[in-house]
């Protein structure tokens, strides 16, 4: 088994952390992913809605895609749309707004 060692300095004392790089992390089941997506959809439906227009520039796609925990939005550029506040946050973080 291969282990990577990482050293952290805390004042003058050193702390070693062992990280296993050979085991794959256990993923979520399809049902768990579906549950997360459904719950995210319910949460987003209850959020404050924000009206926005994403400008359409020449040579760009007509749409912007935005996903939050498997729940996806396809937003048409150049048209007023109403989306949950979290979608606006994602678009701002992506520098689209």
List, for residues 24-79, the tens digit of each pLDDT value. Answer: 667 888 899 899 999 999 999 999 999 999 999 999 999 999 999 989 999 999 99
Within a domain: residue 87? yes
Within a domain: residue 18? no
Query: Looking at the 3D structure of the chain, how many domains does it have?
Result: 1
Sign of the C-alpha dihedral computed for residues 27, 32, 33 and 36 taken in this order = negative
Q: Confirm if 37 and 67 have CB atoms less than 8 A apart.
A: no
Residue 8, beta-bridge partner list: 15
Domain span including residue 78: 25-93
Within a domain: residue 3? no
């Amino acid at each position: 088994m291969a282990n990577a060692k990482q050293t952290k300095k805390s004042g003058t004392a050193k702390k070693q952390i062992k990280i296993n790089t050979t085991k794959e992390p256990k993923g979520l089941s399809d049902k768990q992913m579906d549950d997360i997506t459904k719950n995210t959809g319910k949460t987003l439906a209850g959020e404050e809605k924000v009206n926005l227009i994403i400008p359409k520039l020449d040579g760009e796609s007509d749409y912007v895609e935005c996903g939050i925990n498997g729940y996806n939005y396809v937003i048409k550029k150049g048209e007023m749309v109403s989306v949950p506040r979290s979608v606006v946050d994602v678009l701002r973080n992506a520098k689209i707004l």
